């Protein structure tokens, strides 16, 4: 097992460099002058030259790449051209939004997807099965942004004055404030990476309110998450439901299931205990694959629901030609995706010994 993990880790290194190179190349190829984009049309030649010197833009491209790698190795992602602040600061503010959104979307997708797939397989060819599969087909076909807007209309407009109303934008209701955990726990003196991690966690609002026991605010933050998470999670949910169903049906046709049934085990026990375990393998793969779609969809979801997350920031940085931010955020998201895929592969190998031995 350890050998498999190590080999898999080694194989990701060239991919990691590939990612870094592509991100760097794309950001340098961006049309338009970053100086004029940052400082406006009034910037003179001299000011622009000083600006380019400061950001190393006058060096030859290979030198720029080497400098970039050096910078990355020290954990420095550069300063945003637009905001004049370190990108890491922006990341600490915005990545938690995306992490929170993606996790809730994934949770929704896994729980409901597996549940629906299980019911459909269990009651194969029943009305429930047919309805679930029609729903799954519709679910994979509706664009994230269309579903998001429809949900916003349904729960934010049509059901506005009913108990089912849900907020269609933002992360918290007006008037509610979030205090950083460091402040609440009297750790203002804390600095360096531990402080960054703590600030990062503070910005995952639901986590912040949960650990500090602010239940009203927690409920409010969760309510704000429902629509975005459902909008983002619907496509993966539909895919997971389909895979769970078909994989479970495959397994239910195997001999050992017949044996278990012949032993007189209860049907439910056979499905949940014996079949489900083996049917999980393809489901795990699909969950891993869905993450790419989730991260891409986060750009759209964050735009529809006005959430200031990483996806939205990338989009804004692109329109503002803030290539440092584009570079850093695309890099962080892609590396996160790489790590998740690694974890999926490893867990797959853990679940199925044939993979790590081949």
Residues at the site binding another protein, with contacts judged by CB under 8 A: 14-15, 18-19, 22-23, 26, 29-31, 137-138, 140-146, 149-150, 152-153, 156-157, 168, 249, 291-293, 295-297, 299-300, 303-304, 311, 314-315, 318, 326, 330, 333-334, 337-338, 341
Q: Which lies closer to another protein via its Cβ, residue 111 or residue 138? A: 138
Measure CA 21 to chain center: 22
Q: Which lies closer to another protein via its Cβ, residue 33 or residue 199? A: 33
For residue 192, the minimal CB distance to another protein (Å) is 30
For residue 348, the minimal CB distance to another protein (Å) is 16
For residue 218, the minimal CB distance to another protein (Å) is 27
Q: Minimal CA–CA distance to 136: which of 276, 243, 251, 296?
A: 243
Q: Which lies closer to another protein via its Cβ, residue 21 or residue 215? A: 21
> Which residue intervals of 40-83 are DSSP H helices?
45-54, 61-73
Q: Residue 229 burial (CB < 10 Å; 0-12/13-18/19+)?
A: buried
Q: Which lies closer to another protein via its Cβ, residue 187 or residue 346? A: 346
For residue 182, the minimal CB distance to another protein (Å) is 31
Q: Which lies closer to another protein via its Cβ, residue 155 or residue 209? A: 155
Q: Which lies closer to another protein via its Cβ, residue 118 or residue 326? A: 326
For residue 195, the minimal CB distance to another protein (Å) is 29
Question: Do 313 and 246 touch, CB atoms closer than 8 A?
Answer: no
Q: How far apart are CA 335 and CA 55, in angstroms?
A: 24
Q: What is the DSSP string of 220-280?
A: HHHHHHHHHHHHHHHHHHHHHHHHHHHHHHHHHTSHHHHHHHHTT--HHHIIIIIIHHHHH
Q: How many CB atoms lie within 10 A of CB 186?
A: 8
Q: How many CB atoms lie within 10 A of CB 146?
A: 13
Q: How far apart are CA 212 and CA 253, in angstroms?
A: 50
Q: How far apart are CA 42 and CA 176, in angstroms?
A: 40
Q: Which lies closer to another protein via its Cβ, residue 286 or residue 295? A: 295
For residue 300, the minimal CB distance to another protein (Å) is 6
Question: Do 202 and 95 touch, CB atoms closer than 8 A?
Answer: no
For residue 337, the minimal CB distance to another protein (Å) is 6
């Amino acid at each position: 097992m350890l050998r498999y993990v190590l080999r898999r880790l080694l194989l990701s290194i060239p991919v990691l460099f590939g990612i870094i190179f592509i991100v760097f190349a794309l950001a340098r190829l961006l049309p338009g002058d970053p100086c004029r984009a940052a400082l406006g049309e009034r910037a003179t030649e001299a000011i622009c030259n000083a600006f380019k010197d400061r950001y190393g833009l006058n060096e030859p491209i290979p030198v720029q790449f080497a400098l970039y790698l050096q910078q990355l190795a020290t954990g420095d992602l550069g300063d945003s051209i637009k905001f004049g602040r370190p990108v890491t600061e922006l990341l600490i503010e915005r990545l938690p939004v995306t992490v929170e959104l993606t996790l809730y979307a994934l949770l929704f997708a896994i729980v409901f997807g597996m549940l629906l797939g299980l019911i459909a397989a269990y009651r194969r060819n029943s009305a429930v099965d047919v309805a679930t599969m029609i729903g799954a087909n519709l679910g994979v076909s509706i664009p994230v942004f269309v579903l998001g807007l429809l949900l916003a209309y349904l729960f934010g407009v049509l059901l506005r004055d009913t108990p089912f109303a849900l907020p269609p934008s933002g992360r918290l209701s007006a008037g509610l404030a979030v205090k950083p955990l460091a402040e609440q726990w009297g750790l203002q003196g804390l600095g360096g990476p531990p402080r960054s991690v703590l600030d990062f966690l503070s910005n995952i609002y639901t986590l912040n309110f949960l650990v500090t026991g602010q239940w009203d605010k927690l409920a409010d933050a969760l309510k704000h998450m429902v629509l975005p998470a459902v909008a983002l999670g619907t496509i993966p949910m539909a895919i997971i439901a389909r895979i769970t169903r078909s994989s479970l049906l495959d397994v239910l046709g195997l001999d050992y299931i017949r044996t278990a049934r012949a032993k007189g085990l209860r049907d439910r026990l056979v499905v949940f205990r014996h079949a489900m375990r083996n049917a999980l393998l393809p489901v795990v793969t699909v969950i891993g694959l869905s993450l790419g779609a989730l991260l891409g969809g986060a750009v759209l979801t964050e735009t529809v629901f006005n959430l200031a997350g990483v996806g939205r920031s990338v989009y804004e940085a692109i329109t503002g030609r803030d290539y440092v931010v584009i570079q850093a955020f695309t890099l962080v998201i892609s590396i996160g995706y790489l790590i998740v895929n690694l974890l999926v592969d490893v867990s797959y190998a853990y679940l199925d010994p044939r993979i790590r031995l081949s």
